[in-house]
Amino acid sequence: MRVLILSNLGMGLYKFRKELLEEFINQGYEVFFSLPKDEYVSQLKDLGCSYIESKVDRRVTNPIADIRLLFSYIKIIRKVQPDIVLTYTIKPNVYGGMVCRLLKIPYLPNVTGLGTAIENEGFLQKITLSLYKAGLKNAKCVFFQNKPNKQLFFDKGIVRTCTKVIPGSGVNLEQHKYEEYPEYNGTIRFLFIGRIMKSKGIDELLEAVVKIKQEHVNTEFDLLGFCEENYSDQLNELNASGIIHYHGQQDDVHRFIKGSHATILPSYHEGISNVLLESASSGRPILASNVTGCKETFDEGISGYGFEAKSSDAIVDAINKFLKLPYQKKRQMGLAGRRKMEQEYGRKIVINAYIEQINK
């Protein structure tokens, strides 16, 4: 069996799908992957995978660049001659799917989230959905990370073939093992992990943190993630004043999760948030916006609290509610989150879903 994987980012493929690639290799598959060159390519090659570079611009819609990507996928697929192609994220799903359809290669797309282009109604949404319809038309099965995304694609007539909802990318329960809840030493630490950008709710989060720090000097806020949009000056200013601790992009997020009392994610939309899965798996309560892709990762009042998206006041209210909890209740929330991950989100569930579909 020769498998080709098309994606847009080495980090996502390595951190969230490494175990799937290892399972393919253990079963004797030849595994090829194609994505823009980054620091994770060498680690993926070390697993035993073969690499072919492709240039996928994740952030910009450029028709000329997209046409080039389409033709590069034709060249790559003809060269590899895969038995099956797996695609992740919108451009590989769309253009990889079109090429597989043209060349009559079986393919399994994974809709990892809708993205801003689809979330916001308008001309761009119509164009994006039309492209998706063309890309997914002949897929053997389309994987979704949550039920509302799947329902939207059905309602819009995008998919009519086999579909399957899987628990996001799942979480490696051994790598993100349960960590004892930090002792209370007079300070409560909150953690944000994610790209620093508007759609992750960074505007509302920073506004909420300023308000909380005025009322609760015994709180600390750690922010991790690459600054993708123009927030550098604001982050540096808040960091210098001690309102936040901005650590930039980090390869090892687990040690930050271990030292925190709760994880906050005020995102506008997600597929299924890997950050929240990893935090809950480590035994940390979740404070997250009540949107698809976040709300599935916790049980309200049991392993976390939800709040309205795009509202700094709602974030403040959720943080205050959490701060009022007794220490033991906070710890119990973390334990409940770990149990939920063990029962519903183990990465082996995702691996088995792919193996089962490929075997068909």
- Region 112-131: what's the mean pLDDT? 76
List, for residues 142-177, the tens digit of each pLDDT value: 999 999 999 989 998 999 889 999 999 999 999 999
- Quote the CATH superfamily of domain 2-170+346-359: Glycogen Phosphorylase B; (3.40.50.2000)
Q: 128 versus 216: which is more confidently predicted?
A: 216
**Model confidence, pTM:** 0.88
d(CA 76, CA 62): 21
Residue-level pLDDT at 60: 65
Sign of CA dihedral 166, 90, 107, 16: negative
Indicate whether 295 pLDDT > 70: yes
Average pLDDT value over all residues in the chain: 94
List, for residues 252-267, the tens digit of each pLDDT value: 999 999 999 999 999 9
Residue-level pLDDT at 65: 87
Q: What is the third-level CATH fold of 188-344?
A: Rossmann fold (3.40.50)
- Region 14-37: what's the mean pLDDT? 96
List, for residues 170-218, the tens digit of each pLDDT value: 999 999 999 999 998 899 999 999 999 999 999 999 999 999 999 999 9
Q: Where in the chain is the domain with CATH 3.40.50.2000?
A: 2-170+346-359, 188-344
Q: Which two tokens stand for residue 248?
A: 């930039």
List, for residues 35-49, the tens digit of each pLDDT value: 999 999 999 999 999
